[in-house]
């Protein structure tokens, strides 16, 4: 959640920044209106409270002076009832403001490039040369048919569209990739953690999935439980409602989980293959940092994901996202896009974001900063989406006869 005190104090400045993230102006107008309502409600309550204190003192004074206090006691009793009503109004105004604020995205950093959508993202650099072929390279679903690796039809039979089954070498390769990624990340200082795949609504709200993205979540009927869309959710919320020691920071974590997404807004997109599945495996990076170290941690996480791709011999590029393409919670993001020769394009395989104190404010994650408690910064990133890594290996390492070369670093994991 954005800092509401700062937003109210510097509304025109924050309004301009939020518009860069394509926030609807009517939402901002409603927010400003609620600020006014809350301010008026507080003012009315404080005036009534001051009057109550004044009249209560007069009762004592009148009694010392042997004066009749009947009338003033009636005034105090009536004002006491009014105070309860005014307090309710103030609380309701605060609740309306907080509920609306939960739907307001994070403020983009000043150095985030301006732009409306992904067409305005900025190339940082390209890593490794793209492979060349003396024949037309196949897409991963064609290679799957040649090798019997992925069964899309039986995935649909078991569940519905956008589910799949990995067979034989593909299943082993998925397991090998998870193990290799976790080992790679732990060598970079990220502690491995195993977390629940089901979390409650407070956990989802803490990282920004609720209430805005409820339509994209799988919820368990009659339970306050949701299947996680990413390990970022449970990893970050491990520290919800906690005050950490400054000496404990930074906390750097990695986990492998299945992820579940309805892909509610992606009808008709990437319906074929592994690009956009309802269930997929992903290895995640999460960091909890003091504000002065979060930029350094951010660069470490970007390097970790890029070096991991390079170790798998996968050409990729790093893109700085523009304001219009930033995620809801992100203050800045670097996407890593892997080259897919079968599709003749780059596709996102990792997204590294610094959310500053946005998630920490929602989840109440603080640290003891000298004598006061301050909000931490939280960071998250894919390292990597395993299914997309698998298909990238298939397309980049395909041979003319349709077979697929396994990257050297994975061979020991397949023994």
Q: 204-250, pLDDT tens digit by residue? A: 999 999 999 999 999 999 999 999 999 999 999 999 999 999 999 99
Which of 22-31, 170-179, 189-198, 229-238 is predicted least confidently?
22-31
Q: Is the pLDDT of residue 398 over 70?
A: yes
Catalytic, out of 20, 162, 356, 388: 388
Q: How far apart are CA 199 and CA 378, in angstroms?
A: 19
254: confidence class by pLDDT, cuts 50, 70, 90: very high
Which of 56-60, 80-84, 268-272, 356-360 is predicted least confidently?
268-272
pLDDT score recorded for residue 7: 87
Catalytic, out of 162, 261, 362, 366: 261
CATH number of 118-414: 3.30.930.10
Q: 310-337, pLDDT tens digit by residue? A: 999 999 999 999 999 999 999 999 999 9
pLDDT score recorded for residue 176: 98
Q: List Cα–Cα distances, 373 to 8, 249, 288, in angstroms.
A: 22, 14, 15
pLDDT score recorded for residue 62: 86
Catalytic, out of 96, 130, 175, 276: 276
Catalytic, out of 350, 351, 382, 383: 351
Q: If residue 35 lies in a helix (H) or strand (E), which one and from where to where?
A: helix 25-64
Q: Is the pLDDT of residue 266 over 70?
A: no
Catalytic, out of 89, 214, 242, 348: 348
Mean pLDDT of 62-82: 88
> What does the buried/exposed string (b/e) look like for 291-326 if buried means 16 or more CB atoms within 10 Å of the residue's CB?
eeebeebbebbbebbbebbeebebbbbbbbbbbbbb
Q: How far apart are CA 2 and CA 14, in angstroms?
A: 10
Every domain of the chain with CATH number 1.10.287.40 lies at 4-101
Estimate to the nearest angstrom the gap between the alpha carbon of 68 and the chain centroid. Answer: 64
Mean pLDDT of 25-31: 89
Instruction: Give bridge partners of residue 147 from the DSSP assignment.
Output: none
Helix pair 25-64, 70-101: axis angle to 10 deg:
160
At residue 18, the 3 state secondary structure works out as helix
**388 catalytic residue (yes or no):** yes
Every domain of the chain with CATH number 3.30.930.10 lies at 118-414
Q: Is the pLDDT of residue 268 over 80?
A: no
**351 catalytic residue (yes or no):** yes
**256 catalytic residue (yes or no):** no
Rounded to 5°, the CA angle 310-311-315 comes to 25
pLDDT score recorded for residue 269: 66
Mean pLDDT of 339-363: 97
> Could you tell me the fold of the domain covering 4-101?
Helix Hairpins (1.10.287)
pLDDT score recorded for residue 267: 63
Q: 180-196, pLDDT tens digit by residue? A: 999 999 999 999 999 99
Estimate to the nearest angstrom the gap between the alpha carbon of 247 and the chain centroid. Answer: 25
pLDDT score recorded for residue 336: 98
pLDDT score recorded for residue 322: 97
Q: 99-138, pLDDT tens digit by residue? A: 999 999 999 999 999 999 999 999 999 999 999 999 999 9
Burial of 23 per CB tally in 10 Å (0-12, 13-18, 19+): middle
Rounded to 5°, the CA angle 278-279-282 comes to 125
**261 catalytic residue (yes or no):** yes
Handedness of CA 59, 63, 66, 69 (dihedral sign): positive
């Amino acid at each position: 959640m954005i800092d509401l005190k700062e937003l109210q104090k510097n509304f025109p400045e924050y309004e301009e920044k939020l518009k860069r993230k394509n926030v609807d102006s009517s939402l901002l107008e409603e927010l400003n209106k609620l600020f006014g309502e809350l301010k008026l409600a507080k003012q009315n309550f404080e005036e009534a409270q001051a009057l109550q204190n004044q009249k209560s003192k007069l009762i004592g004074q009148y009694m010392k002076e042997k004066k009749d206090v009947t009338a003033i006691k009636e005034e105090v009793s009536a004002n006491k009832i009014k105070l309860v009503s005014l307090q309710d109004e103030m609380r309701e105004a605060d609740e309306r403001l907080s509920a609306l604020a939960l739907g307001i995205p994070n403020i983009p950093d000043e150095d985030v490039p301006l732009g409306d959508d992904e067409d305005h993202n900025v190339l940082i650099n390209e890593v490794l040369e793209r492979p060349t072929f003396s024949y037309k390279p196949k897409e991963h679903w064609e290679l799957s048919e040649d090798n019997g690796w992925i069964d899309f039809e039986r995935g649909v039979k078991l569940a519905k569209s956008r589910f799949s089954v990995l067979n034989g070498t593909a299943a082993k390769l998925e397991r090998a990739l998870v193990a290799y990624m976790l080992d790679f990340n732990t060598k970079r200082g990220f502690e491995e953690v195993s977390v629940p795949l089901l979390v409650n609504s407070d956990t989802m709200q803490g990282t920004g999935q609720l209430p805005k993205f409820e339509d994209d979540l799988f919820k368990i009927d009659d339970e306050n439980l949701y299947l996680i869309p990413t390990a970022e959710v449970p990893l970050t919320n491990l520290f919800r409602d906690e005050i950490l020691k400054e000496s404990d920071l930074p906390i750097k974590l990695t986990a492998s989980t299945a992820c579940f997404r309805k892909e509610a807004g992606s009808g008709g997109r990437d319906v074929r293959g592994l690009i956009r599945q309802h269930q997929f495996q992903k290895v995640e990076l999460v960091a909890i940092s003091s504000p002065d170290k979060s930029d350094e941690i951010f660069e470490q996480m970007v390097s970790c994901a890029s070096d991991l791709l390079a170790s798998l011999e996968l050409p990729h590029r790093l893109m700085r996202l523009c304001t219009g393409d930033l995620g809801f919670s992100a203050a800045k993001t670097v996407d890593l896009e892997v080259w897919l020769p079968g599709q003749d394009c780059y596709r996102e395989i990792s997204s590294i974001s610094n959310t500053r104190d946005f998630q920490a404010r929602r989840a109440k994650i603080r640290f003891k900063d000298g004598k006061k408690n301050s909000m931490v910064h939280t960071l998250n990133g894919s390292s990597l989406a395993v299914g997309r890594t698998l298909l990238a290996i298939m397309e980049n390492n395909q041979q003319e006869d349709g077979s697929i070369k396994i990257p050297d670093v994975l061979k020991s994991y397949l023994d």
